[in-house]
Amino acid sequence: MGEPGARGRFGDYGGRYAPESLVQACREVEEAFREAWRDPGFRGTLAGLLAEHAGRPTPLTPARRLSEALGVRLYLKREDLTHTGSHKINNVLGQALLATRMGRRRLIAETGAGQHGVATATAAALLGLDATVFMGERDIERQSLNVFRMRMLGAEVVPVTSGSRTLKDATSEAMRHWVGMTADSHYCIGSVIGPDPYPWMVKEFQRVIGDEARGQFAAELRTGVPDLVVACVGGGSNAAGTFAGFADTTARLVGVEAAGGAGAARGRVGVLHGCRSLFLQDGDGQIVEARSIAAGLDYPGVGPEHAHLRDLGRARYVTVTDEEAVGAAVRLARTEGIVPALESAHALAWVIRAAGGGELPAGSTVLMTLSGRGDKDVATFKELL
Ligand SMILES: *Cc1c(COP(=O)(O)O)cnc(C)c1O
């Protein structure tokens, strides 16, 4: 899992489907990122921020009681223990630092439930940048606490009233807004989606998950690599970062999507938000809205590299229902004392199903990325349990 090929492609996917002014802005981001990523100074500064501010490295936790019940050896990569509570901070600190290096004074971001917006507002405050976050009006109503957190951190939250008034529309609006502002603003995308170089760049910023886990796993088990590497997939950034650490090994890679947001498992080829990939569409090729109890999995498509990994057969994509995810969250809470984010609970639900259904031979070693903590989902759990 390396760089995209010619014209920013992973196989047939990816690219830069955008108006000329944005294509130019994307070229500048690509050039700046290529240069920064080769610069040990930039890497060192970012590693320092990740350690001092975000709490890296995150632990690798053996899920002992659950492993025993399932008959496998399950290890959790604890992104839930990062500052702001999910892997999103890894990417945002990288992009905020890049923006500073490019002389940009402002970050523009889209957000659905508010997790990426909060992370962006956090990184902006840390580095003394302004932040403007686009959020669908419906999401603003549903996520008032995160809206307040962003404002408390000094960010401006702009309600988006078009379309379904959710994440898809917020992303379109943020891109439109960036067109006129590219000289002083950086568009900070929250997942491995959007025009090239974003899918590649965001994966590189999330690669720290997989690289750390690989080293920790090797130290824990002499065998070196797990049999299986599992992560949940919304746009696919925590999965891409996790997979990147194991792509050159024999580990089987599994991405777990929400049944109502299964871009990789059930999508068709299309173009959205500047990128050719797999998206949920109706008979006329219109993008269908995703539906999941986990707001972070509510994206109607998947990043282009996942589409390519699926075609190659290198990674497999499976789906889990809302009910299975909630059940898995309760099980993790009661066996390991960890309340996971509903997104992460999808990955666990598949592990539980696969272990029970004989898909995972007894004694298999499984590495699962726990992408976030469940504090943000407590109201949902309370309603259901
Ligand atoms: C946003 C989010 C996700 C989904 O995003 P990816 O880009 O697919 O990783 C998963 N888990 C949590 C906790 C999130 O906040």
Q: What is the pLDDT of residues 131-175, one digit of tens each?
A: 999 999 988 988 889 999 999 999 999 999 998 888 889 999 999
pLDDT at 278: 97
Listing DSSP states for 233-291 in one string gives: -SSSHHHHHHHHTTTTSS-EEEEEEEGGG-HHHH-EEEEETTEEEEE-B-TTSPBPPP-
Check whether 295 has a pLDDT greater than 90: no
pLDDT at 13: 98
pLDDT digits (tens, 9 = 90+) for 205-250: 999 999 999 999 999 887 789 999 999 999 999 999 999 999 999 9
Check whether 302 has a pLDDT greater than 90: yes
Check whether 15 has a pLDDT greater than 90: yes
Alpha-carbon gap, residue 84 to 120, rounded angstroms: 10
Q: Are residues 67 and 157 in the same domain?
A: no
Q: Are residues 117 and 265 in the same domain?
A: no
Q: Which residues line ligand 1 (CB under 6 A)?
A: 86, 88, 115, 191, 232-238, 296, 341, 343-344, 371-372
Q: Are residues 113 and 60 in the same domain?
A: no
Alpha-carbon gap, residue 167 to 305, rounded angstroms: 21
How many angstroms does the Cα of residue 238 sit away from the middle of ligand 1? Answer: 6
Q: Are residues 298 and 215 in the same domain?
A: yes
Q: Are residues 302 and 358 in the same domain?
A: yes
**Atom nearest to 344 CA in ligand 1:** 11
* Residue among 149, 232, 378 to mutate when testing ligand 1 (max atoms within 8 A of CB): 232
Residue 18, φ and ψ in degrees, nearest 5: -150, 160
pLDDT at 64: 98
123 belongs to a structural domain:
yes
**CATH number of the domain enclosing 323:** 3.40.50.1100
Among protein residues, the one with the nearest Cα to ligand 1's atom 1 is 296
Residue 382 designated active-site: no
Dihedral (CA of 83, 291, 16, 266) sign: positive
Confidence label for 385 from pLDDT (cuts 50, 70 and 90): confident
Q: Are residues 104 and 216 in the same domain?
A: no
263 belongs to a structural domain:
yes
Among protein residues, the one with the nearest Cα to ligand 1's atom 14 is 296
* Residue among 191, 299, 348 to mutate when testing ligand 1 (max atoms within 8 A of CB): 191
122 belongs to a structural domain:
yes
Range of the domain at 26: 17-48+88-202
Q: 3-7, 65-69, 187-191: which range is least confident on average?
A: 3-7
140 belongs to a structural domain:
yes
Mean pLDDT in residue range 177-194: 96
149 belongs to a structural domain:
yes
Domain boundary among 158, 176, 202: 202
Alpha-carbon gap, residue 382 to 385, rounded angstroms: 6
Q: Are residues 43 and 80 in the same domain?
A: no
The overall average pLDDT reported for the chain is 95
DSSP 49: H
134: helix, strand or coil: strand
Mean pLDDT in residue range 360-381: 95
Contact 62, 73 (CB under 8 A): yes
Six token digits for residue 269: 């080829």
Q: 65-69, 72-76, 141-145, 312-316: which range is least confident on average?
A: 141-145
320 belongs to a structural domain:
yes
pLDDT at 224: 85
Q: Are residues 167 and 250 in the same domain?
A: no
Check whether 1 has a pLDDT greater than 90: no
DSSP 232: E
Residue type, 351: V
pLDDT digits (tens, 9 = 90+) for 107-121: 999 998 899 999 999
Q: Are residues 64 and 185 in the same domain?
A: no
10 belongs to a structural domain:
no
Six token digits for residue 308: 């390519």
Confidence label for 22 from pLDDT (cuts 50, 70 and 90): very high
Among protein residues, the one with the nearest Cα to ligand 1's atom 5 is 234
Q: Are residues 316 and 212 in the same domain?
A: yes
Q: Which strand (E) or helix (H) includes residue 206?
A: helix 198-220
Domain boundary among 176, 202, 228: 202
Q: Which residue carries 């809205």 as its tokens?
A: 289
pLDDT at 6: 84
Reported pTM: 0.97
Alpha-carbon gap, residue 344 to 186, rounded angstroms: 29
pLDDT at 298: 86
How many angstroms does the Cα of residue 222 sit away from the middle of ligand 1? Answer: 31
pLDDT at 143: 85
Residue 310, φ and ψ in degrees, nearest 5: -65, -50
Q: Could you give the number of structural domains in the chain?
A: 2
Q: Are residues 283 and 364 in the same domain?
A: yes
**Atom nearest to 237 CA in ligand 1:** 7
Domain boundary among 142, 170, 202: 202
Residue 15's Cβ-side half-sphere holds a number of Cα atoms within 13 Å equal to 15
Q: Which residue carries 């610069």 as its tokens?
A: 39
6 belongs to a structural domain:
no
Q: Are residues 290 and 193 in the same domain?
A: no
**Atom nearest to 234 CA in ligand 1:** 8
pLDDT at 77: 98
Six token digits for residue 76: 């959790």
